[in-house]
Amino acid sequence: MEKLLIIDDDSGVQKQLKWSFSDYDVILASDRESAIAAVRRYEPKVITLDLGLPPDEANASEGLAALQEILAIAPHTKVIVITGNDDRTNALKAIAAGAYDFYQKPVEPEVINVIVSRAFSVAAIEEENRKMRAVAGSDMGVIGNSASIDRMRMMIKRIAPTSITALLLGESGTGKEVTANAVHLASDRKKKPFIAINCASIPETLLESELFGFEKGAFTGAHKTTKGKIECAEGGTLFLDEIGDMPYNLQAKLLRFLQEKCIERLGGRQEIPVDVRVICATNQNLEQMVQEKSFREDLFYRVSEITLNIPPLRDREEDVLILAQYFLQQYAAEYKRNVKGFSEDGLSALKNHKWPGNIRELQNKVKSSVIMSTGTQVTAMDLGFFDHEDQGYELSLNLRAVREQAETLAIQKAYALSTGNMSKTAELLGITRPTLYSLVEKYQLTIN
Ligand SMILES: Nc1ncnc2c1ncn2[C@@H]1O[C@H](COP(=O)(O)OP(=O)(O)OP(=O)(O)O)[C@@H](O)[C@H]1O
């Protein structure tokens, strides 16, 4: 049972509240000192606090002091302040000091129950977000808490200090480059360059000069001597993505560089020593390519001294939320949006969606949701999950709630389409500006 601390000096109110909170493990305190002791001992996530505490029952000084002390020792606690029925000034003071919400006497059990239960949900979501952020911070950029990602991080740390050549295997967008970069960051080469090159995206004729560089006059258009990516990565790491697409004749030259640690630029005669760690990746079956003689066997053994299999996202569902939270923070900062996390329905839509292997789909969804979102929490609708059967999240059966969801979504869309211009938004929606403003207020949408 969740612990709920009730701070009130009136034993009648204490009893009434205790009785109405039968779903919680209720702890009672009647003054600041015992309240602080209870906060330290029980660490309740939610507290109701009567501002009129002794010795200043008629005013709010003691209650406000208690609030400050609670938030100083347990800043994530949701404190619901209870005030006299005409004491809005102190209620607002309490909110400014960090209280989660306020409630004016007399106490109505149903109403206060709703406020408390919502406070517990918000506390739970925020805690989940904090945990995600904590994990996300300590991993050389490899985000995830699934067993397979844990194992991978462990392998990255083992491989990093050695000179072994690793081959990363995985589908497109599963994080091969992220993994290669993590090896680089965990090695003593981290202050030197990390250079990635995709062998499939560079025309065959250019790949050689891209990698090895060229001397002035080596070919028409070679106006000046130019270093290749290998030389540019001196002291650091070169990531060769889609190594299976490396042309056969260039494979011999690559092998020579890997074995002898020196290169020759195109049109050059000089052997240039290089100190570069190479990490390769592919989505193809290199062993089969060796059998079919489209990939050199000697190169295959040279680049695959150790192999890391990177699992697709669909095989590590546990990572979806943590990655989503990571992308959300990234894009909120990039687009300067005041978005802090996902709402409950946003989280459940993310959990229930059948993600493919490629992390980019998740990344793009979160990116557009951050742009679309008008509140501090990204909802299922912001994420573009409208079809509840497809996504498996609960769509309300209550008509009013459905209408509110639909109206919120339409406003958000129109607002995004009209790049934040309220007159245009109203025009798109076919309503007047005052009606738009009243809807924005009704649904508490944040218009930046
Ligand atoms: N574990 C992870 N932690 C954080 N971000 C990740 C992770 N895995 C993938 N990403 C993100 O997903 C996107 C795709 O990752 P990446 O480019 O590393 O995949 P890839 O396997 O190299 O893709 P491709 O084969 O298409 O080049 C990137 O934007 C990357 O930042």
Residue-wise pLDDT for 387-446, tens only, equals: 544 444 445 566 777 788 788 878 877 887 777 788 988 888 888 999 999 998 888 776
Domains 147-311 and 315-442 share a fold: no
Tell me how far the alpha carbon of residue 35 is from its chain's centroid. 36
Provide CB contacts within 8 A for 183, sequence distance 6+: 156, 159, 160, 166, 237, 279
The yes or no reply on domain 315-442 and CATH 1.10.8.60 is yes
Please list the helix, strand and coil fractions of the chain in percent, rounded to the nearest 5, in that order. 50, 15, 40
The yes or no reply on domain 147-311 and CATH 2.60.120.200 is no
Provide CB contacts within 8 A for 195, sequence distance 6+: 229, 232, 233, 236, 237, 238, 239
Indicate if the pLDDT at residue 137 is higher than 60: no
Q: So where are the chain's domains?
A: 3-135, 147-311, 315-442
Contact between residue 316 and residue 149 where contact means Cβ atoms under 8 Å apart: yes
Residue-wise pLDDT for 34-74, tens only, equals: 999 999 899 999 999 999 898 988 888 999 999 989 988 88
Contact between residue 156 and residue 183 where contact means Cβ atoms under 8 Å apart: yes
- Of 395, 409, 411, nearest in space to 345 by CA: 395
User: Residue 244 has what pLDDT?
Assistant: 94
342, HSE (Cβ side, Cα atoms, 13 Å): 28
> Which numbered atom of ligand 1 lies nearest the CA of 139?
3
Helix, coil or strand: residue 164 = coil
Between the CA of 174 and the centroid of ligand 1 the distance, in Å, is 5
Global confidence as pTM: 0.64
- As for the ipTM of the complex, it is 0.97
- Of 28, 178, 16, 44, nearest in space to 106 by CA: 16
Question: What CA–CA distance (Å, rounded) separates 153 from 146?
Answer: 11
> Which numbered atom of ligand 1 lies nearest the CA of 168?
21
Pocket test for ligand 1, best of 177, 202, 242 (most atoms within 8 A of CB): 177
User: Residue 392 has what pLDDT?
Assistant: 41
| Ligand 1 neighbours (beta carbon < 6 A) | 142-144, 170, 172-178, 241, 359-360, 363
Architecture of the domain whose range is 3-135 = 3-Layer(aba) Sandwich (3.40)
